[in-house]
Amino acid sequence: MPAEALEEKLERLPGAPGVYLMKNARGEVIYVGKAVNLRSRVRSYFGRSSDTRAFIPFLESVLADVDTVVVSNEKEALLLENELIKRYQPRFNVLLKDDKNFICLRLDPAGEWPRLEVVRRFKRDGAMYFGPYASASSIRETLRIINRYFQLRTCSDHVLHHRRRPCLLHQIGRCPAPCVYDVSREEYAESVREVALFLEGKGVELLDALRTRMKAAAQDLRFEQAARLRDQLFAIERSLERQKIATTETIDQDVFGYHREADRLVVYVLYIRQGRLNGGQSFPFTGQEFPDEELLGSFVNLYYGEDNVLPDEVLLPLRPEGGVEALAELLTEKRGRRVRVMAPQRGEKLRLVEMSAANARQALLDQRRSKDELEKVLERLQDRLHLTGIPRRMECFDISHFQGSSIVASQVAMIEGELDRARYRRFRIKSVQSQDDFASMYEVVSRRLRRGREAGDLPDLLVIDGGKGQLASARAAMKDVGVTLDVVGLAKSRELDSDDEVGASARSPERVFIPERRDPIVLPQNSPELFLLVRLRDEAHRFAITYQQKLMRRRNFKSVLEDIPGVGEGRKKALLRAFGSLKRIREASIEELAAQAGLGTTLAERIHAHLHAPESELRREVAEGQVDEDAVREASLEDAAADGPGRETGPVG
């Protein structure tokens, strides 16, 4: 859009609340923002030539058009901003791309024999949610204490209803086994209440209740129960002592802080529960050009748009554009209880915000240090492997097969030392019918390079899983396609034979083969350069094995279910929709098969009889390769539903 037309459009902007979308010359949305007054906000980006704000000249160089959406109030603008950022993924917005950041614990006291579940979404379903937890290790430690001393069941509802004898957890004293034994519902409910007190951080109330129960058990001469309560009491006291008291108020708080250097930004969130510090998490971003108030306000809006657990208070380091009232109203409505949002200027709350900002500053420092160290690692890798350039972008290929059949290949990528899953690809080998790793490697590298040459999308270094033979196949493919790249082969460490000098239990080092060199290069076995290559190779191996197993599971579904007379494609899918997996179909009774899958009694009896064939017959089928029993047990509804030929190559879904 010409500058004159853009200026005219800016003149016509409404002075109402809403959302604006900035676009580049190709019509792509590059930034989404909200405003109480669209006219004032958008025109503020286009100051006089003397405007010294850093992002002004940058914005004028990339901006071609501005669209606006008018809404009734600021709360609606917050909702619409969240939706549009998720839809367009704009380049200059802070983006929460990983929906697995927020790990919570869910406890539903109204359920049958309530249990703790690890979830990643908060729902208004009447259950109790605790968290978020900053890491999987912290949540594992919490669950370890609860499983050992409070003894709630851990199995799923399906297992609970179908178990016929107690599991190992009951035998080691971690579960009362309500699945098979007559457990007192009152005592179990008391354990559920105590778990809730523990997770809420109400230590005084919980410890008082446990002391009362311990004394009562001792007075009634129930010494084993009293001893168990004593151990539980000591463990909880130790756990509470490790939690740092952060504030005198016994409320839940999320404390936001940030640190910025040029276009690099880290937002840090401290989790305070019932006045105790429960952990924190950093969110790094790069390429951020817009003002702090906008970026932070947008981040908080997205953060709570991810169904995260809402606290009593949200503390911010600065007031977002338009104030905090609309955000507080939105969060209160979502939670069902009041949520206070504030940007403190003094006192204890300001100290918490400063603590969060200090953590953000340290996180950015650590990130910068890591990048500097990685640059040196890549430079050493270039030098030691005699590469023509620094291998900032690497791709690795691996071949996988099962007894010479189901041959597949994987391609995984790494950029600046980090795995780039958007560039993962998987291949079915077309030209090779039997086990031939060299021919398979030639095919997959040829297909990748041919596509990359046409699209102008080639890596700095190809890493081939294998030795001289696989490397030669890759080089032949490069020559035939007409592409010149750095390429190396990475041979796995192997156990040495007993007649080797170093002994039977020793292993050979990882070896790197490079073109035009007879002997491999052996990098120091604990060096970061080797670790980088091995990590890439192991990821390629994992990705290839996963794809190959998935194809085999689909094949085994067909071989097991479709061998039953009267079970065609429609009934197979109906069974899997009803039960979810082949394992659950085998566990179901004849009556359940008939009722849940809509089958006739005769067909249900036939399916049940086939899936409960004598063990000797099952062993025969496994021995003959007709059934991979482990793969069948792990088969899921998702794998079975995706029953078509699938994509031969494409990104990870």
For 464-479, write each residue's pLDDT tens digit: 998 899 999 999 999 9
What mean pLDDT is reported for the chain?
A: 80
pLDDT confidence of residue 645: 31
Residues 479-510 as b/e (b if ≥16 CB within 10 A, e otherwise) read: eebebebbbbbbbeeeeeeeeeeeeeeeeeeb
Query: CA 292 to CA 266: how far, in whole Å?
Result: 11
pLDDT class for 650, splitting at 50, 70, 90? very low
- CB neighbours of 382 closer than 8 A, spacing ≥ 6? 389, 390, 391
Per DSSP (E only), the strands in 454-555 are 461-465, 486-491, 511-513
> Who has greater pLDDT, 597 or 483?
483
- CB neighbours of 12 closer than 8 A, spacing ≥ 6? none
pLDDT confidence of residue 313: 94
- Tokens representing 193 are 């209440």
Among 249, 288, 229, 255, smallest CA distance to 91 is for 288
Please state the rounded mean pLDDT for residues 582-589. Answer: 80
Class of the 393-522 domain?
alpha beta
Q: Cα-Cα-Cα-Cα dihedral of 232, 233, 235, 237, to 10°?
A: 160
> Who has greater pLDDT, 264 or 383?
383
- Tokens representing 561 are 């279910």
Taking phi first (over 0 means left), then psi (-120 to 50 degrees means alpha), and beta for anything else, what does residue 347 get? left
Q: Cα-Cα-Cα-Cα dihedral of 108, 109, 114, 119, to 10°?
A: 20
Instruction: Name the superfamily (CATH) of residues 3-88.
Output: GIY-YIG endonuclease (3.40.1440.10)
**Domain range summary for the chain, segments of one domain joined by +:** 3-88, 103-200, 253-365, 393-522, 546-641
For domain 253-365, which architecture applies? Answer: 2-Layer Sandwich (3.30)
- Tokens representing 250 are 């016994």
DSSP states along 370-410: HHHHHHHHHHHHHHHTT-SS--SEEEEEEEEEETTEEEEEE
Least confident of 235-249, 260-274, 357-371, 405-419: 235-249
Q: Cα-Cα-Cα-Cα dihedral of 557, 558, 562, 564, to 10°?
A: -40
Please state the rounded mean pLDDT for residues 185-203. Answer: 85
- Tokens representing 170 are 């009951």
pLDDT confidence of residue 633: 37
pLDDT confidence of residue 50: 45
**Predicted TM-score of the model (pTM):** 0.57
Query: CA 397 to CA 426: how far, in whole Å?
Result: 10
Whether 431 contacts 439, CB under 8 Å: yes
pLDDT confidence of residue 243: 59
* CATH fold match for the domains 393-522 and 546-641: no
pLDDT class for 512, splitting at 50, 70, 90? very high
Please give the single-letter amino acid code of residue 523: L
Least confident of 149-163, 212-226, 558-572: 558-572
Please state the rounded mean pLDDT for residues 589-614. Answer: 81
pLDDT confidence of residue 482: 93
For 271-317, the pLDDT digits (tens) are: 888 888 878 888 988 877 788 888 888 898 888 876 678 899 999 99
pLDDT confidence of residue 495: 62
For 339-354, the pLDDT digits (tens) are: 999 999 988 999 999 9
Least confident of 238-252, 327-341, 417-431, 596-610: 238-252
Please state the rounded mean pLDDT for residues 89-95. Answer: 84
pLDDT confidence of residue 306: 65
pLDDT at residue 210 is higher than 80 = yes
Please state the rounded mean pLDDT for residues 391-409. Answer: 83
pLDDT class for 496, splitting at 50, 70, 90? low
Least confident of 302-316, 521-535, 637-651: 637-651
CA 130 to chain centre: 19
For 137-192, the pLDDT digits (tens) are: 777 878 888 888 788 888 888 888 888 888 888 888 888 899 989 888 988 998 89
Least confident of 74-78, 117-121, 183-187, 399-403: 399-403
For domain 546-641, which architecture applies? Answer: Orthogonal Bundle (1.10)
Please state the rounded mean pLDDT for residues 225-247. Answer: 74
Helix (H) or strand (E) holding 593: helix 590-597
pLDDT class for 224, splitting at 50, 70, 90? confident
Q: What percent of the chain has pLDDT over 70?
A: 83
> Who has greater pLDDT, 501 or 600?
600
Q: Find the radius of gyration of the CA atoms of the chain.
A: 30
pLDDT confidence of residue 617: 42
CA distances to 585, 619, 620 from 614, rounded to whole Å, are 17, 9, 10
Q: Give phi and psi for 578, each to the nearest 5.
A: -75, -35
**Could you give the 3-state DSSP secondary structure of residue 130?**
strand
Whether 280 contacts 359, CB under 8 Å: yes
pLDDT confidence of residue 646: 33
> Who has greater pLDDT, 405 or 423?
423
